[in-house]
């Protein structure tokens, strides 16, 4: 019932957070996008059974959270609605992957469970990194940075308008939900009602998108420009810091740090 208004509020919260002032906020948006991408590629490219190797990547998130002053609770709020989908992704692994992973000589768990937790961990890390990027930069600034990184204008514009339209859709869906509940109570809609609501929802979305298109067309013509040319905001300190982050991430990807520490210090 309350998931739509919560999602809308949470998205707003991310945009409001992006207006704050901190080291992470003042960082050049292009660097942040690059670092976020490298982070996500490093995390995703880990083998399915390498759970321990992912742990050091938490360090990067913690550093950005500390630098930006953003509460981890906000990231958690965003992760919770997505969690069921992540669980669905990996839920079959423990059933079909019956190999054994030996923790000690006597204790072992199924490789399916290892890959299941690995999927959850990877998803949480990559999605949190995306959320942090939006919360420290703002969606418009991200799109602006993408454009200055020579990403085709059509893609960036699509991204910006899709994000804006998504918020409008959520508002619209929320209004429909309230209107439905007022007359029908908390009972779930029947299949026929679902059909009618969905059909009407899509029609009104089409009309809405047509109106927004007209508004863009009236002010921007046939080839509207959505971003002005932003100045380069890159300082040597930012470059050095980003480079060290980049090197550390690659190191953490190439070397399984927990195993390396164990071998170096415990042996």
Q: What span, in angstroms and rounded, lies between the C-alpha atoms of 33 and 186? A: 43
Looking at the Cβ atoms of 175 and 244, the one nearer to another protein is 175
Name the nearest CA neighbour of 250 among 34, 26, 29.
34
Looking at the Cβ atoms of 6 and 211, the one nearer to another protein is 211
For the CB of residue 82, give the shortest distance to another protein in the complex, in Å. Answer: 21
Q: Running DSSP on this structure, what letter comes out for residue 104?
A: S
For the CB of residue 78, give the shortest distance to another protein in the complex, in Å. Answer: 17
β-pairing verdict for 100-102 and 108-110: antiparallel
The size of the interface with another protein (CB under 8 A), counted in residues, is: 32
Tokens describing residue 190: 């029947």
CA 120-122-124 angle, 5° bins: 65
Judged by CB under 8 A, the chain residues 218 through 247 that form the site for another protein are 218-222, 224-229
Q: 143 with 227: CB under 8 angstroms? A: yes
For the CB of residue 5, give the shortest distance to another protein in the complex, in Å. Answer: 13
What is the CB neighbour count within 10 angstroms for residue 162? Answer: 11
Judged by CB under 8 A, the chain residues 102 through 141 that form the site for another protein are 138-140
- Is 262 a binding residue for another protein by CB under 8 A? The answer is no
Looking at the Cβ atoms of 99 and 224, the one nearer to another protein is 224
Tokens describing residue 141: 């600034």
For the CB of residue 178, give the shortest distance to another protein in the complex, in Å. Answer: 17
3-state secondary structure of 189: coil
- Is 168 a binding residue for another protein by CB under 8 A? The answer is yes
Judged by CB under 8 A, the chain residues 56 through 95 that form the site for another protein are none
Looking at the Cβ atoms of 26 and 171, the one nearer to another protein is 171
Tokens describing residue 201: 């929802």
In this structure, the chain runs to a length of: 267
Q: Which residues bind another protein (CB under 8 A)?
A: 12, 15-16, 19, 138-140, 160-161, 163-164, 167-168, 171, 208, 211-212, 214-222, 224-229
């Amino acid at each position: 019932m309350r998931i739509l208004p919560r999602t809308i509020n949470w998205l707003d919260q991310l945009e409001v957070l992006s207006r704050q002032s901190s080291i992470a906020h003042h960082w050049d948006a292009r660097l942040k996008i690059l670092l976020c991408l490298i982070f996500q590629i490093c995390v995703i490219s880990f083998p399915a059974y390498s759970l321990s190797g992912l742990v050091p990547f938490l360090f990067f998130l913690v550093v950005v959270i500390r630098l930006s002053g953003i509460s981890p609770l906000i990231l958690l709020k965003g992760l919770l609605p997505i969690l069921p989908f992540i669980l669905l992704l990996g839920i079959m692994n423990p059933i079909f992957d019956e190999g054994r992973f030996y923790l000690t000589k006597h204790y072992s768990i199924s490789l399916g469970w290892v890959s299941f937790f690995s999927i959850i961990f990877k998803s949480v890390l990559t999605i949190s990194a995306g959320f942090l990027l939006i919360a420290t930069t703002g969606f418009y600034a991200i799109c602006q940075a993408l454009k200055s990184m020579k990403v085709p204008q059509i893609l960036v514009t699509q991204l910006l308008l899709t994000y804006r339209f998504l918020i409008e859709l959520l508002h619209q869906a929320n209004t429909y939900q309230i209107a439905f509940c007022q007359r029908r109570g908390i009972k779930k809609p029947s299949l026929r009602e679902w059909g009618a609501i969905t059909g009407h929802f899509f029609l009104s979305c089409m009309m809405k998108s047509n109106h927004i298109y007209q508004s863009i067309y009236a002010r921007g013509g046939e080839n509207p420009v959505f971003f002005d040319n932003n100045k380069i905001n890159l300082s040597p300190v930012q470059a050095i810091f980003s480079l060290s982050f980049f090197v550390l991430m690659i190191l953490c990807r190439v070397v399984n740090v927990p195993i390396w520490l164990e071998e170096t210090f415990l042996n």
